[in-house]
Amino acid sequence: MSGRFDAIIIGAGQAGPPLAGRLTAAGMNVAIVERKLFGGTCVNTGCTPTKTLIANAHAAHLARRAADYGVTLGGAVGVDMKAVKARKDAISGNSRRSVENWLRGMKGCTVLQGHARFVSANEISVNGETLVSERIFINVGGRAAVPDMPGVDKVHYLTNSTILDLDILPRHLVVVGGSYVGLEFAQMYRRFGSEVTVVEKASRLVHREDPDVSEAIRGILENEGITVRCNAECISFSPHGEDIVVGVKCVEGEPEALGSHVLLAVGRRPNTDDLGLENAGVATDKRGYITVDDQLSTSVPGIWALGDCNGKGAFTHTAYNDFEIVAANLFGDDPRRVSDRITAYALYTDPPLGRVGMTEAEARKSGRSVLVGSRPMTRVNRAVEKGETQGFMKVLVDADSNEILGASILGTGGDEAVHCILDIMYAKAPYTTIQRAVHIHPTVSELIPTILGELNPLE
């Protein structure tokens, strides 16, 4: 369908569909183009399928711990990987269909499936047809990066997307990349029953976190039987019969790991290399991320970039916030900005890590006078009662302004409890506001006021 539209949206991820809803509600005639799966990374290869699998793996783990709770099972715990995959596919598929049905039923919205490419700054080509608009919004997301490591082209490897197609249990999964995606899959497959080795080039896991957080996470994984190999400076691959040899050459340990399957979890890249951005004059950085300003406008007036492809966030919640920022600036006297956003995310290992604001290292580097409070989960009643006492909580405060600078909650419920800190940070209220709050007992959150009443200078 060739024609002129009030707006064109390229990509139906987490920002595109709600933006289509807002634009059509304002009376605009909108075209949204999706070349593959509606819902983007989150629904198809990210949050929805992986957190479903993590829940499956948690059930297996809890069943193996049944005796700890006085529960007797009739035999060994088994995992049916075909049933595991079927549950994941059903939940992910329902979410994908919901997004597509919403868009196709949206008044004023034309849904096109195909590969969109820019012809000029206000024209795109889809399936041989040309669409024209003075407003174009790019929401094309990203995909797994595959670095040119020695031998990688000689072996069969998995990415965060293709591993979701497995309906068998790998005998030995070697995870290359000890960061957020890799660690979730590592623990998940260990709990399903695989032998698992994590290979990380840096000196510690999730090296963007503080050392105490990294070491605690490593301990949690090793306690479940996962082998961790850090300082892997010379990662390489070679076939060995039906297996794969992963060269690591760490300072300590064997120089190689032999696995039946290899997962590459070494970063992401934006889906911008085949959009014809050069035809529109849209600028990108050296990694391919679209350059945007604080309100998500690109270098070309009338073109915006939202979600993972702009390099301003790699999460569903930041992509959705990108939609909110664009909509607020288009339709209201509400100049929202990316820079208003406070860093917040979670690592969904078990227990999870909830993170907001600065790390301890960042707080030190800021030159502020910093107070810190911490508490092990062994001293959190709710964690003790649940039999889940691994991890700790840590909160950082500016000693002069009483502003909360950041927090790390690694422990049961940490991904939820951290939000009471995040909300106070957005309110720009002093830490004493939450310190004096009366929280429900027994919860994980109730110990946050206690921690804030026991602050000490950061040494």
Instruction: Look at residues 406, 418, 422, 410 and name the one whose alpha carbon lies nearest to residue 361.
Output: 406
Token pair, residue 110, equals 């034309």
> How many angstroms separate the CA atoms of 227 and 257, rounded?
10
**What's the Cα-to-Cα distance from 26 to each of 7, 264, 296, 330, 334, rounded to whole Å?**
11, 44, 20, 10, 16
C-beta of residue 406 within 8 angstroms of C-beta of residue 390: no
d(CA 274, CA 209): 34
Residues 6+ apart with CB under 8 A from 444: 380, 382, 383, 393, 409, 411, 412, 413, 414, 416, 417
Query: Which two three-digit tokens encode residue 303?
Result: 């073109």
Q: Residue 400 corresponds to which tokens in the numbers above?
A: 């002069």
Task: End-to-end CA distance of the chain: give it in Å, rounded.
Answer: 65
Residue 411: strand pairing partners:
none
DSSP state of 437: -
Residues forming beta bridges with residue 197, ordered by sequence position = 174, 227
Report d(CA 96, CA 90) in Å as an integer. 10
Confirm whether 441 is a catalytic residue. Answer: yes
Cβ of 169: how many Cβ atoms within 10 Å? 16
Task: Return the bridge partners of 239, or none.
Answer: 244
Polymer length of the chain: 459
For residue 202, report the phi and psi dihedrals to the nearest 5 degrees: -75, 175
Task: Find out whether 174 and 326 touch, Cβ atoms under 8 Å.
Answer: no
Under 8 Å between Cβ of 361 and 422: no
Cis peptide leading into residue 351 (ω within 30°): yes
Catalytic residue among 115, 172, 439, 441: 441
- The structure tokens listed for 146 are 């595959």
Rounded Cα gap, residues 198 and 235, in angstroms: 12
Q: CA 138, CA 303: separation in Å to the nearest integer?
A: 8
Q: Give yes or no for a contact between 183 and 209, defined as CB atoms under 8 angstroms apart.
A: no
Identity of the amino acid at 444: V
**SS3 assignment, position 68:** helix
Known catalytic residues? 441
